[in-house]
Structure 1
């Protein structure tokens, strides 16, 4: 098996799983459905992932690794260029997520997968996300705390949790504000980010 074929098979499985998880949820999707959608046999899934739980985790890792790296890089720049300024820190958290949501290569499906993760009780997935990406939230919490020294740790985490929920809602483009005709996706995303950052900053400062 060549390296190209190896990657192609794994990527097809991940893409198929992402689409099916978005449509039917984790418990409602069987490995047989995944293999049928990806046009592979069950041995290929076992070879690349070993189990359905690992497949679920890798669907998240494929998107979350890049988004987390982009967030942390933007946070580093924000702290260097705008020390003590809250809005650039919030922008570093919000903008990479909205950019990922607009990715034409499955970004929309992944947002629905995130919604499934909120709706379904999956302790294994929650532990995986906490273990792999909890440090990102902690870094942002520390950065925000540096801008808001009077905010208690409990209030900080409540508000960061609210921001995460509002961001997920905005990523899904499910709200009242739809992209107007004649406005590009990137312009609409930038406007959404600006409004969410302004809203979040007011919440953290209140």
Structure 2
């Protein structure tokens, strides 16, 4: 691992942890540099600004998740055409896999929750510009499965699915992982139940 790569990753890891704990507004670049054990020049060199650092924290996680989603979506369309549950699985399962990741996935879920809570317009614009095409691809695929659903209703329900998925990723709620059930099995059950719930909602 090169020094440049390790420095950049240390900064991103520190920023993600601090954003998860404190939010974006309350976290200073000086706190990030202290946590990452680098100087402010390193942050400026790699990211240029705090806003770019925030965006990069998301891009580091979401690029791979989006690629995984689109790959699964293409497979679903080719192998199980017209099957709504297969489309929804392509949306849900990569996100739950990210949440269960051992390399800090849990902290990133809290960062997502902060993004919802803090109404960060710059971040929302970045996410829309970079990942909006993924949402649109899923909207088209779902529309093919439920052709009678109006476009406005489809987007409302896709938005609701995103909220429910974020909730499931955070492992909140009534259903905790039972003793003796491993994380992978619990996440698979969560995916199955969410897909079943969402499919009923889209078909309603």
Q: Which bracket does the TM-score occupy, shorter chain normalised?
A: over 0.9
Shift of 1:173: 0.1
Alignment counterpart, residue 135 of structure 1, candidates 102, 116, 133:
133
Structure 1 segment 40-119 matched on structure 2, within 5 A: 40-119=38-117
Residue 194 of structure 1 is matched in structure 2 by 192
Listed as ranges, the gaps of 5+ residues in structure 2 are none
- TM normalised by structure 1 equals 0.98
CA distance in 2, matches of 1:75, 1:85: 11
CA-atom RMSD in angstroms: 0.6
Of residues 167, 170, 178, the one that matches 1:169 is 167
Q: What is residue 183 of structure 1 aligned with on the other side? A: 181
Alignment gaps of 5+ in structure 1: none
- Alpha-carbon separation, structure 2, partners of 1:103 and 1:85: 28
Q: Separation in 2 of the partners of 1:165 and 1:121?
A: 15
State the shift of 1:121 in Å. Answer: 1.5
Q: Offset of 1:21 from its aligned partner?
A: 0.1
Residue in 2 that maps onto 1:146:
144
- What is the SS of the residue equivalent to 1:112? helix
Count of equivalent residues? 204
| Aligned twin of 2:124 | 126
Distance 1:180 1:99 in 2: 19
Q: CA deviation at 1:104?
A: 1.2
TM-score (structure 2 length as normaliser)? 0.99
Q: Which runs of 4+ in 1 moved over 2 A?
A: none
Structure 2: distance between partners of 1:28 and 1:107: 21
> What's the counterpart of residue 22 of structure 1?
20
In the TM superposition, residue 181 of structure 1 has moved relative to its aligned partner by: 1.1
Match in the other structure for 2:36: 38
CA deviation profile, 1:113-172 (whole Å, cap 9, x unmatched): 000000001110000000000000000000000001100000000000000000000000
1:68-98 Cα distance to aligned partner (Å, 9 max, x none): 0000000000001100010000000000000
